[in-house]
Structure 1
């Protein structure tokens, strides 16, 4: 099914052309990634497709049966509403029924029996239980709980996950014909969440257009790449490596074409200069062709690249030493007697689930937070470069050039020379016009580039990068990775970008919770592989059988009772599974008679596959509940 057609689309923003006469199509089942430099118009294009912004020229056609669902980079969340009200924000009988049922069962108190009976009756009549199970899966995998909590009390990362849950629920509810548009969906997700999201979006019925900096995510989800470059659109069928090869070949061809035009232009110029008095008798067609060759010969292949070249402060013998460091918040332990001595040129990745204390650990190294006990000794020559998640911290809105000149007028480079503030900005892809833009008007990625500039000018020899890849475009990330690979100082990276970590770190500090930090010798992919092997081993390992006396001696407090909601779910599963088994048997019997036509056989086969998947899902949940 044809979902979207874009024809000759053009858009200019603040006198800057973003794109001109671009055209492309989206078909059902397409999974497309949009790639471009920050500020090139990616987010603007997504908003035009959603009808939020209007193009200057061209047309966007969306099939009348297609619903477009957007996850914005900065999603609109109502801080005064609770989580449940934000997720089920629009009116629909099924969604309303699930919302009422969840409100009654999530309150933490015994629900009013009359209200609960009415809610359950609505769920039965609308056949909403299956969709309720989908909602539970999404909320559980994104670690969204306490649905009555007011959103205004949550962190930015939690709000982004709530917005993602809302989008996925909307898509799954309307999954027949939905175009899902996502701007940086992996920001604020830990790796387990990202891997689950990859699997979820990889389903055949999902039609997707996204912007992402995560190359593993891109390769695992998308099968087509659209690139916006200098206002033009280029299409690549394949993964990121294929796209990079195709782009390199395209730039090489463009450069060769320009060289050919220059050679031809020199010949035509010599011809035009001959016999100036008789020029009116010259071939009119050849004169016209001359100006065409001139235009082609004088064009420049714009391939702006970030230039990261800074002078690093000398590293002394003593780097950074942690001795018996303890840190906790109330009953939650972050570190328990942590010991480590950093060596020259060390590259460490910091990983773990959200909330286990990774950022607290970083803040302690940077002396932003104090340890409860123990010592953190920093070498005298150490100059930290702190690339934090907080971004740029400015007291008031200023122009880019003013912000940089407040840091310094001239910047030292690795080769011993100095450049002016304006020249240094150009190395970070800020054109002379962009340098006089207010910081508030920059895109998220442009602000990240400016933050990186403000850190590197101090010539740090110990870089601490907390989620550095968020909001950076892929071309800038490639340059940053090259710079960090050659960086001679120490490096600590906190990131959920698996590709970025794999390329740069030598070993990992794995925060496992309860103050436990494992030092793993390898990159993130190697660590995840080891985790999977450990999980397989645990599954295969025979479980010890406890002696009857020991079993009898166990205190009753170790086994918790099923909640009212779980009891109801268990009863529902016990009623649904036999009904599904019966339906499956009936369909199989009908198919074995040989009396069905092709279409009926196909329809029955599809339904049997659906029932089999449902039964597996329900049996797993039944086992979980029955073991409690």
Structure 2
């Protein structure tokens, strides 16, 4: 079933053409990722599909009656509302039914109205709505429902926007970088959520593990052409490589044919026959093909950094707290030359604060930070670049240096550095405020690198960078000879470039783990869980309590509780039997384990609530 069709859309800003004649469709149950370089118009396409912008040409057609929700990079939320008020102010079919039921409860004498409202609650299983949205908010660490939106951080607002679109259960969900501002635990939960929910997705994301595990189709915009791949990220990479190899072969053939035709053209007399004119026309077409160039501008920097001495950085008994929140509690570490350390942990555990302590931007409460004399930090922060009005791209880089030294006595100018990072000559003279968010981040990275650091610190460098730029950055970092420290929630990125982790557990606990992120997850999953008290299974009684005696909130939670418990018990028994009989394939073990854990959690929640309601009714 087709949900939405994009037909021949184009978009330009002045002389700058983002894309032309783009066409594709989105069908029910597809989970599509849209891949393109920064500045290619990804966000513009999302805005057009969501109805927030209009194309210069072409049209968008959506199926009548479908509900489309859009998680943009910057959601406009009312700062005066609380988190709970914000959720209830959205257009949601279930909320309408709940409000109708609340109104019916206020007028108990209107029996028909109450019966109709009650049947709608049953039909749409609306009794569990409050439980469901509170579970989603809890997973996204938004537990204080009375907190005003105006007091939330940027990351919290992004997570609230994500919670709202998940709670509203749209037919088609459009997402612009959904994993930004989520910690690793939240991202893995979101992956599992999308895996089990029947929802149609169209998204832009740089998180390649997320692409791998969530998406079943990838659409790529490359040099103005659309390419469609019906598979996950691994399938996309393999087929893209094959496509580019075939293009290279065809280009080589076209060049060879061009040379032959060029010789023929030079030998021809001025008078042209019909046959020769036809061949001339063919020659023009061949010439165009032969002169096609893939403008990839791959980054291949070989920075000749200043030499590091024997003493790098030493951390002795570091202590740091913010009010009652402990970040470090006696942390010790001595860095050695060439270490590549990744930092992971939940949001709010002090990862960015640790980087600021390391670079002397934040003082410690106790202990010492000793930095070697030869150390030159290059610090890429989440704040990004400070845009000055009227400043051009090239001017930003020149503020930090005119050139950087490369190996073998070579130098590279500021302009050449920008070219290597995908800023062509024309783009270098654009005003910085005209750049996309991803292009500004790429520019900031250049500004850090031109200072020629030998200890590079990157705080969430992958946010807003496209997949192409990420590959370029990774290749550079793999060759980088200095010390490297990275805070990132991008698991693919971390797996590729770091070989040691600092794990921030919270409450001042920091663990040193020898390995990358996948090694850490495998280790964590293999640890034996602490024994838990066995819980007796609840068998729901045959007799149903009279729901009319309960308050609305209790009635809403109670709903079809008995049937839900029975269904969950059956599902739990089936999966446990499959594990006991070795019926689960190795590929499905992880998904089945996640499913079973979710069933157990849901079952415990519903059983406990059933007992509470039963006790109240008996009293």
Query: TM-score, normalised on structure 1?
Result: 0.82
Q: In 2 relative to 1, CA 414–570 (structure 1 residues): closer, same or farther, beyond 3 Å?
A: farther
Q: Is residue 431 from structure 1 mapped to residue 424 from structure 2 by the alignment?
A: yes
Q: In 2 relative to 1, CA 347–272 (structure 1 residues): closer, same or farther, beyond 3 Å?
A: closer
C-alpha RMSD of matched pairs (Å): 3.3
Write the deviation string for residues 139-189 of structure 1: whole angstroms up to 9, x where unpaired.
11111122222222221111100111111112x2x4xxx111101000010
Residue of structure 2 equivalent to 1:161: 159
- 8 Å CA contact 2:315–2:332 kept in 1: the answer is yes
Residue of structure 1 equivalent to 2:347: 354
Q: In 2 relative to 1, CA 154–298 (structure 1 residues): closer, same or farther, beyond 3 Å?
A: same
Residue of structure 2 equivalent to 1:504: 497
Residue of structure 2 equivalent to 1:417: 410
Q: Is residue 95 from structure 1 mapped to residue 79 from structure 2 by the alignment?
A: no
Residue of structure 2 equivalent to 1:338: 331
Correspondence 1:141-220 to 2 at 5 A: 141-170=139-168, 172=169, 174=170, 178-203=171-196, 205-220=198-213
Aligned match of 1:300 in 293, 298, 317?
293
Counterparts of 2:152 and 2:462 in 1: how far apart (Å)? 23
Counterparts of 1:542 and 1:617 in 2: how far apart (Å)? 14
- Count of residue pairs brought into register by the alignment: 560
Q: In 2 relative to 1, CA 581–144 (structure 1 residues): closer, same or farther, beyond 3 Å?
A: closer
Counterparts of 1:122 and 1:311 in 2: how far apart (Å)? 75
- 8 Å CA contact 1:70–1:182 kept in 2: the answer is yes
Residue of structure 1 equivalent to 2:542: none
Residue of structure 2 equivalent to 1:262: 255
Q: In 2 relative to 1, CA 57–499 (structure 1 residues): closer, same or farther, beyond 3 Å?
A: same
Write the deviation string for residues 290-337 of structure 1: whole angstroms up to 9, x where unpaired.
222222222223333234332211100000001111111222211111
Q: Any idea what SS the aligned residue of 1:349 has?
A: strand
How far 1:573 sits from its partner (Å)?
5.9
How far 1:479 sits from its partner (Å)?
1.6
- 8 Å CA contact 2:320–2:327 kept in 1: the answer is yes
How far 1:580 sits from its partner (Å)?
5.5
Write the deviation string for residues 386-433 of structure 1: whole angstroms up to 9, x where unpaired.
111111134545111222222223332234322332222111111122
- 8 Å CA contact 1:254–1:301 kept in 2: the answer is no
> Structure 1: 5+ residue runs without aligned partners?
103-112, 544-565, 586-611
How far 1:273 sits from its partner (Å)?
2.4
Correspondence 1:117-156 to 2 at 5 A: 127=121, 128-156=126-154
Residue of structure 2 equivalent to 1:577: 561
How far 1:194 sits from its partner (Å)?
0.5
Correspondence 1:305-316 to 2 at 5 A: 305-316=298-309
Q: Is residue 479 from structure 1 mapped to residue 472 from structure 2 by the alignment?
A: yes
Q: Any idea what SS the aligned residue of 1:276 has?
A: coil
Q: In 2 relative to 1, CA 163–262 (structure 1 residues): closer, same or farther, beyond 3 Å?
A: same
Residue of structure 2 equivalent to 1:108: none
How far 1:521 sits from its partner (Å)?
1.8
Counterparts of 1:375 and 1:123 in 2: how far apart (Å)? 66
Q: In 2 relative to 1, CA 508–121 (structure 1 residues): closer, same or farther, beyond 3 Å?
A: farther
Aligned match of 1:495 in 488, 497, 504?
488
Write the deviation string for residues 73-130 of structure 1: whole angstroms up to 9, x where unpaired.
222222233222333333557426869999xxxxxxxxxx999xxxx99996762322
Q: Any idea what SS the aligned residue of 1:371 has?
A: coil
Q: In 2 relative to 1, CA 6–419 (structure 1 residues): closer, same or farther, beyond 3 Å?
A: same
Counterparts of 2:99 and 2:376 in 1: how far apart (Å)? 53
Residue of structure 1 equivalent to 2:46: 46
Q: In 2 relative to 1, CA 508–444 (structure 1 residues): closer, same or farther, beyond 3 Å?
A: same
Q: In 2 relative to 1, CA 513–47 (structure 1 residues): closer, same or farther, beyond 3 Å?
A: same
Q: In 2 relative to 1, CA 285–209 (structure 1 residues): closer, same or farther, beyond 3 Å?
A: same
Q: In 2 relative to 1, CA 192–270 (structure 1 residues): closer, same or farther, beyond 3 Å?
A: same
Counterparts of 2:485 and 2:378 in 1: how far apart (Å)? 10
Counterparts of 1:379 and 1:584 in 2: how far apart (Å)? 60
